[in-house]
């Protein structure tokens, strides 16, 4: 039996208490992980986990009541069944599993081309797509909040 800590978040502006939503960041760049984590924790009041290990991502998605996943498309170090994989592959894997298919996934990339957004969303069944770099923390938080079921 596993025990998980239930966190309560407090809105810095209103003082309102709520259960903290948990966000899983799948990203290979430590600077991006740091930026997203700081913004999500400090400004958004979210609980944050990060990994680029496919088996760990699946385990966290199944066991940790994740509210949304931020998925980098280009991953340098992720492998599954001995093969190098990207965020599109991991998204399809999660969306094909009944235990994880309902978790909203936001695809994120710094290499956006015209038509990629629609093609990636359609092929993976992800809920949202954002371009990096994230320069406006408030806009980043709005994008994340837009997919979370309250």
**pLDDT tens per residue across span 45-104:** 999 999 999 999 999 999 999 999 999 999 999 999 999 999 999 999 999 999 999 999
How far apart CA 73 and CA 22 sit, in angstroms, is 20
What pLDDT digit, counting tens, does each position of 139-149 carry?
A: 999 999 999 97
Q: What is the pTM of this model?
A: 0.84
Pairing assessment for the beta strands 79-80 and 83-84 based on DSSP bridges: antiparallel
Q: What domains appear along the chain, each with residue ranges and CATH number?
A: 27-145 (3.40.50.2300)
Q: Do 107 and 95 contact (CB within 8 A), yes or no? A: no
CA dist., res. 4 & res. 7, Å (int): 9
> Mind listing the pLDDT tens digit for each residue in 1-34?
333 333 444 444 555 545 679 999 999 999 999 9
CA angle 102, 64, 54 (to 5 degrees): 75
Beta strands in the chain (DSSP E): 8-10, 17-19, 22-26, 47-50, 68-72, 79-80, 83-84, 105-109, 128-131
């Amino acid at each position: 039996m596993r025990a998980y800590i239930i966190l309560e978040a407090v809105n810095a502006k209103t003082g309102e208490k709520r259960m903290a939503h948990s966000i899983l960041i799948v990203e290979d760049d430590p600077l991006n992980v740091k930026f997203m984590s700081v913004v999500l924790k400090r400004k958004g009041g979210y609980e944050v986990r990060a990994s680029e290990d496919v088996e760990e991502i699946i385990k966290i998605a199944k066991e940790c009541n994740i509210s949304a996943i931020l998925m980098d498309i280009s991953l340098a170090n992720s492998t599954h069944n001995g093969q190098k994989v990207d965020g599109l592959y991991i998204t399809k894997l999660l969306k094909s599993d009944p235990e994880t298919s309902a978790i909203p996934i936001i695809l994120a990339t710094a290499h956006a081309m015209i038509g990629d957004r629609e093609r990636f969303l359609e092929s993976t069944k992800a809920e949202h797509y954002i371009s990096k770099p994230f320069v406006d923390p408030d806009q980043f938080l709005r994008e994340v909040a837009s997919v979370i079921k309250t």
